[in-house]
């Protein structure tokens, strides 16, 4: 008998797991467990058990649990775990989460729980702490109740932060664990998050003026009310930040992520139809849980122009690279940029050839990029879809604060870098914090979105989703840029790519649905489309074998 057997059994009866077809399992994927909300109650309960174990394994440090399905429709939801520094759950533990969630009966659940405790040498009597939040989906209530029951059954101390953006929860986890230490990340409260960002925003701007209005589409998700709240903390007498918050209706679930939000804009390559796009207006979109950001405007002449994660990445890298040089720290700090295979080739060229910074390509998913970015003193990482942030090493943050400036220009650069260290969310990509960063950079450079878009010209590209029998047949190497299996498929892709100028294409299994994704880019739009279709046919053929 373990310590919590009786309690786990009793509570588990209230939150049963929905059995899947024979041979099918729930898996902890790139975004945790993400499914139709009515399948998630038992899962959320069991994630509570796992979060307690994880906290106990890490000496009682606080673990986070976020309930959200990001850009998915309102009927979906998701549960994911946040590690003590505010980063994603350690990969090894994804297996343990999967094991707990797939235990077929309540009794077997108790067995798996106790076995994990034994195998991982976890003292079930030691303290555990778990903090959690959810987005605005109505199903969040029920999932939070199930989660809380899991925490109570395992006697973990817990804090319910109610409705939060995903990055706010990541912030709170790190703030909780660093409270009272020299590495304190900020006040342990939602207000603490707003105060930190607002203060750093004012400091980073250093009196520079923000031009014109910014319209922010909040996907009718949690970002809407949270952005409105943040804006109250930005002192009007110091900063002229004219923000128009739109698509912030969180009371009607059916409008969540519907024809709006960062995912809509990025995949459809157009502005949300409502409110009616106003030519020339500087605009951006957050996704449903406010961890993705895309900028755009509708040009009276050339139509819709989008500035995606690659653009934010190169803008940030260029600005921070220049500041580091002005601060006289060029030889002390290693700056690098991390991208995935989806990054537009033109952005990679711009960063390596024009900015002269190293670029590393990783597999898709924030955790991979985050990990590699930690290897630099300043690691800029973004996925093209708008997920991303800039990480500063302790050495870098120290240098910004301690280096003796040799000139007023050097002091200015050091101060701005120190402010960016506070403004940019260090735990995970944060659309609201990234948006403030972009606004700071545009103000410093006195740039419009058009100036920003002029830095390089994107290669035309096309993304195609291909239904296959079993996506797991498709295995990749070289950061998902080449297929290892099925044998022969990559040779055919290579042959197809050779037919086009400046072309590149790859196919990979999705981490979030049973399908493959094909990406192609080429010198012209028609060639990119044609190549994508060709590769899609190859994948279809191999997928049907
Ligand atoms: C998840 C990932 C995202 C990635 C996407 C790819 C996190 C927090 N989210 O949403 O980074 O771009 O999956 O989806 O890591 P796919 O595997 O279906 O193409
Ligand atoms: Mg998201």
Q: What is the CATH number of the domain that holds 141?
A: 3.40.120.10
How many H helices and E strands in the chain?
18, 19
Integer angstrom CA distances of residue 235 from 190, 199, 202, 238, 240:
18, 9, 8, 6, 9
- Of the listed 70, 139, 178, 313, which one is catalytic? 70
Per DSSP, the residues of 291-316 read --EEEEEEETTTEEEEE-HHHHHHHH
Query: What's the rounded Cα separation, in Å, for the pair 50 and 31?
Result: 16
Residues 434 and 314 in one domain: yes
Q: Nearest ligand, CA of residue 474?
A: 1
Residues 346 and 446 in one domain: yes
Residue 275 lies in a domain: yes
H-assigned helices in 18-134: 41-57, 91-101, 106-119
Query: What's the rounded Cα separation, in Å, for the pair 277 and 350?
Result: 30
E strand spans, 148-198:
157-163
Query: What's the rounded Cα separation, in Å, for the pair 99 and 462?
Result: 37
Q: How far is the CA of 292 from the centre of ligand 2 (A)?
A: 6
Residues 217 and 297 in one domain: yes
In the annotated binding site for Mg(2+), the residues are 70, 287, 289, 291
Per-residue pLDDT of the chain (545 residues; tens, 9 = 90+): 678 999 999 999 999 999 999 988 999 988 899 999 999 999 999 999 999 999 999 999 999 999 999 999 999 999 999 999 999 999 999 999 999 999 999 999 999 999 999 999 999 999 999 999 999 999 999 999 999 999 999 999 999 999 999 999 999 999 999 999 999 999 999 999 999 999 999 999 999 999 999 999 999 999 999 999 999 999 999 999 999 999 999 999 999 999 999 999 999 999 999 999 999 999 999 999 999 999 999 999 999 999 999 999 999 999 999 999 999 999 999 999 999 999 999 999 999 999 999 999 999 999 999 999 999 999 999 999 999 999 999 999 999 999 999 999 999 999 999 999 999 999 999 999 999 999 999 999 999 999 999 999 999 999 999 999 999 999 999 999 999 999 999 999 999 999 999 999 999 999 888 899 999 999 999 999 999 999 999 999 999 86
In the annotated binding site, the residues are 70, 287, 289, 291, 383-385, 508-512, 517
Question: Which residue range is the domain that position 416 belongs to?
Answer: 309-453
Residues 261 and 330 in one domain: no
Residues 150 and 233 in one domain: no
Nearest 5 degrees, angle CA 263-CA 268-CA 270? 100
Active site residue 55: no
Task: Provide the domain count of the chain.
Answer: 4
Confirm or reject: Cβ of 387 under 6 Å from ligand 1. yes
Residue 128 lies in a domain: yes
CB 497 within 8 A of CB 531: yes
Tell me the HSE value of 42 on the side-chain side, using a 13 A CA sphere.
21
Q: How far is the CA of 510 from the centre of ligand 1 (A)?
A: 8
Confirm or reject: Cβ of 393 under 6 Å from ligand 1. no
Q: In what order do the strands lie in the sheet with 461-467?
A: 461-467, 515-521, 504-509
Residues 11 and 154 in one domain: yes
Q: How far is the CA of 36 from the centre of ligand 2 (A)?
A: 16
Residues 302 and 313 in one domain: no
CB burial class (10 A; 0-12, 13-18, 19+) of residue 307?
A: buried
Which H or E element spans position 360?
strand 359-362
């Amino acid at each position: 008998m373990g310590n919590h057997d009786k309690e786990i059994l009793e509570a588990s009866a209230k939150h049963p797991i929905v059995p899947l077809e024979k041979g099918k399992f729930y898996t902890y994927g790139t975004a945790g467990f993400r499914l139709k909300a009515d399948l998630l109650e038992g899962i959320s309960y069991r994630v509570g058990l796992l979060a307690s174990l994880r906290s106990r394994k890490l000496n009682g440090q606080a673990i986070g649990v976020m309930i959200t399905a990001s850009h998915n429709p309102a009927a979906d939801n998701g549960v994911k775990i946040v590690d003590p520094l505010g980063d994603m759950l350690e990969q090894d533990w994804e297996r343990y989460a999967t094991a707990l969630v797939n235990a077929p009966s309540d009794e077997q659940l108790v067995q798996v729980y106790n076995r994990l405790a034994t195998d991982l040498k976890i003292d079930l009597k030691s303290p555990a702490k778990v903090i959690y939040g959810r987005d605005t989906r109505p199903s969040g209530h029920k999932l939070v109740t199930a989660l809380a029951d899991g925490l109570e059954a395992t006697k973990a101390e817990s804090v319910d932060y109610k409705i939060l953006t995903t990055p706010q929860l990541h912030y709170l986890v790190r703030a909780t664990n660093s409270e009272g230490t020299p590495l304190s990340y900020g006040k342990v409260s939602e207000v603490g998050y707003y105060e930190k960002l607002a203060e750093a925003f004012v400091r980073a701007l250093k009196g520079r003026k923000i031009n014109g209005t910014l319209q922010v589409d909040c996907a009718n998700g949690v970002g809407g009310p949270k952005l409105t709240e943040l804006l109250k903390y930005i002192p009007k007498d110091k900063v002229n930040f004219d923000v128009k918050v739109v698509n912030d209706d969180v009371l009607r679930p059916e409008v969540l992520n519907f024809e709006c939000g960062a995912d809509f804009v990025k995949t459809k390559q157009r502005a949300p139809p409502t409110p009616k796009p106003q030519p020339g207006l500087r605009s951006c979109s957050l996704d449903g849980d406010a961890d993705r950001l895309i900028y755009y405007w509708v040009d009276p002449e050339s139509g819709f122009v989008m500035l995606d994660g690659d653009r934010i990445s190169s803008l940030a890298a260029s600005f921070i690279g220049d500041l580091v040089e002005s601060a006289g720290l060029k030889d002390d700090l290693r700056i690098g940029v991390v991208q995935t295979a989806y990054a537009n080739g033109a952005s990679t060229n711009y960063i390596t050839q024009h900015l002269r910074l190293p670029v590393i390509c990783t597999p898709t998913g924030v955790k991979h990029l985050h990990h590699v970015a930690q290897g630099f003193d300043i690691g800029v990482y973004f996925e093209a879809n708008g997920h991303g942030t800039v990480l500063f090493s302790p050495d870098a943050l120290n240098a910004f604060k301690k280096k003796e400036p040799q000139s007023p220009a050097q002091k200015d650069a050091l101060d701005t870098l120190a402010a960016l260290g506070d403004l940019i969310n260090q735990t995970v990509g944060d659309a609201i914090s990234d948006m403030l960063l972009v606004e700071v950079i545009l103000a410093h450079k006195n740039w419009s979105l058009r100036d920003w878009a002029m830095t390089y010209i994107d290669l035309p590209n096309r993304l195609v989703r291909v239904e296959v029998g079993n996506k797991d047949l498709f295995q990749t190497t070289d950061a998902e840029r080449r297929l290892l299996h099925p044998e022969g498929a990559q040779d055919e892709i290579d042959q197809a790519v050779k037919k086009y100028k400046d072309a590149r294409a790859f196919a990979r299994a999705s981490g979030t649905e049973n399908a493959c994704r094909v990406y192609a880019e080429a010198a012209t739009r028609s060639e990119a489309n044609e190549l994508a279709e060709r590769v899609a046919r190859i994948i279809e053929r191999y997928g049907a074998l």
